[in-house]
């Protein structure tokens, strides 16, 4: 039971403080506390470490019917009743197509050194292939010029899920290798026109997401629920598109361009950091990514992956695997959560620990807080496959983000999330893990796929009715991180 004081008793207690020696130092008896130390920043990152942010075309651009853009599967999906929260679409989104100059000035004010954007395939080739649309490539050319004028390095993603609808109708989208070939044609064209200024290209973003959620679970575009065998074939065509895309970029880009991808690889981490659990997590990192990152970095599917799927395994040729294994210059890792692993005496040597219902998460129920993934995933990628250049191409968190009457967003939970993840990232970098840069997701609130506008991930709050952008408290935090090149 809590002690309760009357006002009189409380007054007596306060009054008695006059006869108790003060525990606080006085100005004459102690050194003043230095609130602004000049010592080196704790948890500082290496000189030249790049700090950036990221967006994706359909999530921010809007202008879906302007300047010759063709429809994508996201347009069709979002306009299908019942597919998205509140029937939300990306028709307008952040209107970034018209406001990109204003947005780049906000990036400059934040101190961004680099910005990751994606190109809308259907702005370049309205029907996926054929005659290119000059107004499409012109927009991205102007965007790149504005970024460079602001001293911000552009990093370009070629596919962030907005597949031209014509390819879905003609070939069944990623169910056909014809779409993989079409992607290579598109990738080569964009590289040819932008690589004089853009020096880092990523082929596809999160193959795991658009394949599994779009073609297996049906929750994202194109909203299909295919059989295991067909999903495995879709997965193969996605990694094949990456490989063919790498080859096309190298064939058409200017010298000095680097090519990679941005994949949400399963970030496996030992539940306890002992040798047996660490070894188990390393095995899991390779096998749990067997259909995507492992196949790309090794140019083959693992024996366990093929054996597990048996008759449902993907059909492929030796030339396919050679293309898939095309050497890349860097790996981009999108990381939000951690997959916890323990050692086990089963044939694989590991077991994945399911999250209990009480596991802490951000506003999005899937976004379970696990900062250790940002240490272990890059560490394993470097150790297992000898990768020498890694970027964290996405990391961020959803929050309730309430705009106060005086115009502020105090997203302390997002700051907590970012600080914890950056601490783990620093742990790896300080050990020599070759992470060269970090892109916070996202630069501003935007269209969050099937969740519509209900879930906010941005450093900047967006009023979607007025399109006003307001820096959140997390933007001020991140600005300080960039300025210090270390934790704040």
Determine the Cα–Cα distance for residues 54 and 441; give it in Å rounded to an integer: 6
Determine the Cα–Cα distance for residues 193 and 87; give it in Å rounded to an integer: 36
Catalytic residue check, 394: yes
Question: Over the Cα atoms of the chain, what is R_g?
Answer: 25
One-character DSSP codes across 152-212: -EEEEEEESS--BHHHHHHH-GGGSHHHHHHHHHHHHHHHHHHTTT--EEEEEE-HHHHHI
Q: What six digits make up the tokens of 377?
A: 């995933």
What is the maximal distance between C-alpha atoms in the chain? 89
Residue with the two structure tokens 């680099």: 114
- Reduce the DSSP state of residue 470 to 3 states and report it: strand
Determine the Cα–Cα distance for residues 180 and 201; give it in Å rounded to an integer: 17
Catalytic residue check, 168: no
Which residue from 398, 465, 452 is spatially nearest to 78, judged by alpha carbons?
452
Distant-in-sequence, close-in-space partners of 94: CB < 8 Å, separation ≥ 6: 59, 60, 61, 62, 103, 444, 445, 446, 447, 462, 464, 467
Handedness of CA 55, 56, 60, 61 (dihedral sign): positive
Distances (CA, A) of 428 to 293, 335, 435: 20, 14, 8
Residue in 61, 263, 287, 394 annotated catalytic: 394
Q: What six digits make up the tokens of 229?
A: 């065998």
Strand partners, 394: 334
Which residue from 184, 225, 151, 424 is spatially nearest to 320, judged by alpha carbons?
184
Distant-in-sequence, close-in-space partners of 452: CB < 8 Å, separation ≥ 6: 84, 85, 86, 87, 88
**Range list of β-strands (E), 30-83:** 50-54
Strand partners, 72: 164
Determine the Cα–Cα distance for residues 341 and 448; give it in Å rounded to an integer: 29
Residue in 206, 263, 266, 288 annotated catalytic: 206
Which residue from 342, 346, 474 is spatially nearest to 412, judged by alpha carbons?
474
Tell me which H or E stretch contains 286.
helix 275-287
* Residues acting as catalytic residues: 206, 394
């Amino acid at each position: 039971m809590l002690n309760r004081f009357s006002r009189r008793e409380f007054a007596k207690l306060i009054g008695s403080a006059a006869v108790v020696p003060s525990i606080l130092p006085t100005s004459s008896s102690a050194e003043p506390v230095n609130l602004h130390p000049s010592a080196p920043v704790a948890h500082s990152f290496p000189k030249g470490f790049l700090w950036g942010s990221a967006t994706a075309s359909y999530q921010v651009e809007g202008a879906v019917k302007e300047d010759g853009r063709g429809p994508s599967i996201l347009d069709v999906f979002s306009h299908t009743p019942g597919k998205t929260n509140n029937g939300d679409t990306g028709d307008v989104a952040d209107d970034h197509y018209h406001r990109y100059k204003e947005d780049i000035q906000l990036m400059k004010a934040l101190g961004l050194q680099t910005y990751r954007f994606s190109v809308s395939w259907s702005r370049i080739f309205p029907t996926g292939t054929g005659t290119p649309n000059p107004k499409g490539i012109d927009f991205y050319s102007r965007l790149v010029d504005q970024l460079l004028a602001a001293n911000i390095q552009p990093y370009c993603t070629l596919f962030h899920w907005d597949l031209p609808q014509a390819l879905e109708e003609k070939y069944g989208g990623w169910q056909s290798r014809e779409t993989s070939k079409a992607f290579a044609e598109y990738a080569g064209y964009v590289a040819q026109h932008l690589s004089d200024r853009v020096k880092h290209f990523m082929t596809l973003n999160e193959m795991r997401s658009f394949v599994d959620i779009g073609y297996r679970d049906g929750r994202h575009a194109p909203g299909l629920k295919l059989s295991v065998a067909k999903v495995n074939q879709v997965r193969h065509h996605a990694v094949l598109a990456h490989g063919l895309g790498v080859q096309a970029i190298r064939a058409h880009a200017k010298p000095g361009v680097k090519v990679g991808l941005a994949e949400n690889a399963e970030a496996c981490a030992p539940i306890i950091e002992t040798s047996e659990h660490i070894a188990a997590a390393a095995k899991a990192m390779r096998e749990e990514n067997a259909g995507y990152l492992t196949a790309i970095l090794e140019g083959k599917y693992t024996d366990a992956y093929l054996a597990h799927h048996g008759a449902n395994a993907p059909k492929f040729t030796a030339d396919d695997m050679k293309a898939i294994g095309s050497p890349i210059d860097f790996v981009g890792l999108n990381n939000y959560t951690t997959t916890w692993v323990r050692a086990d005496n089963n044939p694989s040597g590991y077991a994945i620990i399911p999250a209990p219902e009480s596991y802490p998460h951000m506003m999005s129920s899937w976004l379970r807080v696990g900062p250790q993934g940002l240490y272990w995933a890059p560490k394993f990628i470097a150790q297992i496959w000898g990768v020498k250049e890694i970027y964290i191409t996405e990391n961020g968190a959803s929050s309730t983000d309430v705009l106060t009457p005086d115009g502020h967003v105090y997203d302390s939970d997002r700051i907590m999330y970012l600080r914890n993840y950056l601490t783990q990232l620093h742990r790896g970098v300080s050990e020599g893990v070759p992470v060269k840069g970090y892109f916070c997701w996202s630069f501003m609130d935007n269209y969050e796929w099937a969740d519509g506008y209900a879930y906010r991930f941005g450093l900047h709050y967006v009023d979607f009715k007025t399109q006003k952008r307001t820096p959140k408290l997390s933007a001020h935090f991140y600005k300080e991180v960039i300025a210090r090149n270390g934790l704040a």
